[in-house]
């Protein structure tokens, strides 16, 4: 059955300690920290067969897994996270991954890893014995701390299945049914990880070709994610998935390159009107360019030119 935990009944000064006790009991070695005085959180917890599933919601926090604090990990485990809200950032094994809503990522419980979430958020989390996946996926370590994009059909199916489990979680399940659902969920996790590999997410060559093509065509206002995918000879979905694995999108990569070009031109071509520079760098609307430039550099194009 589903258990519910909340900080609401706790005094403000005791909420974080209470929450750390709950998460530590759930996933050994997990520690939550926050600078917020108004810290508030709630969590649903469900032990489905031999899987432990949680659905936490909280304000901005930092969550760390500390292997040295693990007391009861008799077997290695992995933890699947599905972002439900905001853009949490994971740091593990020297990689930094920022998830969008619906993206997935797998963590190794024996590693030190850190989640940094700046604002209100929620995630779907499943901890599972590594052997359940490792016996069915060769090179499971290659999947750790790599974003699995929401665009993949296997990601969408897995997300919907996990949500459907939670919707039915109020029903008491007999052990045989719980084990059957746990096996089904494991199979879908395997399919999602394999689907990400089959889609070429581990091929850094796609990203290298994307950035090379953007460098050549960034000045062209007709450059779009679709035309970019065509230029490098891959389906748009493959390009989107590969970019998402690196924490970006093709459109964002195009815009960032154009912004860098515009900044260089503003400093060098000092007598050229700003509107002309915007058009030369692939923008078709000077007002849009000015707004995006200020978002990127924290100042208007005019101020940037004056300072550089």
Tokens of 249: 């999108």
**pLDDT confidence band for 207 (50 / 70 / 90):** confident
pTM across the whole model: 0.66
Distances (CA, A) of 245 to 62, 175, 241: 22, 37, 6
Percent of the chain past pLDDT 90, that is, above it, reads 43
Sorted by where each begins, the domain ranges of the chain are 3-170+178-198, 204-307
Statement: 3-170+178-198 belongs to CATH 3.30.1280.10: no
At 73 the pLDDT is 55
Cβ atoms of residues 275 and 282 within 8 Å: no
DSSP-based helix, strand, coil % in the chain, nearest 5 = 45, 20, 30
Supply the CATH classification number for the domain 204-307: 1.10.10.60
Length reported for the chain = 308
**For 76-96, what is the mean pLDDT?**
87
Q: What is the pLDDT of residues 282-291, one digit of tens each?
A: 999 989 999 9
Cβ atoms of residues 290 and 300 within 8 Å: yes
Instruction: Give the max Cα distance, the chain.
Output: 76
**For 74-99, what is the mean pLDDT?**
85
Sign of CA dihedral 140, 240, 213, 266: negative
């Amino acid at each position: 059955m589903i258990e519910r935990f909340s900080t609401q009944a706790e005094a403000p000064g005791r909420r974080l300690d209470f929450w750390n006790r709950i998460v530590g009991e759930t996933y050994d070695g997990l520690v939550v920290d926050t600078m917020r005085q108004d810290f508030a959180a709630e969590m649903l917890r469900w032990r489905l067969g031999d899987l432990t599933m949680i659905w936490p919601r909280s304000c901005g926090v930092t969550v760390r897994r500390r292997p040295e604090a693990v007391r009861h990990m008799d077997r290695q485990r992995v933890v699947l996270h599905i972002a439900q809200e905001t853009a949490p950032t994971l740091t593990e094994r020297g990689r930094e991954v920022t998830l969008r809503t619906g993206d997935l990522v797998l963590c190794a419980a024996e590693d030190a890893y850190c989640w940094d979430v700046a604002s209100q958020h929620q995630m779907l989390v499943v901890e599972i014995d590594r052997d359940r996946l490792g016996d069915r996926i060769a090179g499971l370590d290659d999947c750790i701390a790599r974003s699995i994009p929401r665009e993949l059909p296997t990601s969408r199916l897995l997300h919907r299945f996990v949500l459907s489990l939670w919707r039915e979680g109020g029903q008491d399940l007999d052990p045989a049914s719980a084990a059957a659902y746990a096996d089904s969920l494991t199979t879908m996790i395997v399919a999602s990880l394999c689907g990400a590999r089959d889609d070429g997410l581990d091929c850094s060559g796609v990203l290298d070709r994307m950035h090379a093509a953007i460098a050549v065509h960034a000045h062209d206002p007709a450059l779009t994610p679709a035309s970019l995918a065509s230029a490098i000879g891959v389906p748009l979905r493959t390009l989107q998935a590969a970019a998402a694995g690196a924490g970006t999108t093709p459109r964002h990569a195009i815009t960032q390159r154009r912004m860098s070009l515009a900044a260089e031109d503003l400093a060098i071509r000092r007598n050229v009107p700003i509107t002309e520079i915007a058009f030369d760098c692939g923008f078709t609307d000077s007002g849009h360019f000015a707004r995006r430039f200020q978002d990127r550099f924290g100042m208007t194009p005019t101020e940037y030119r004056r300072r550089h």
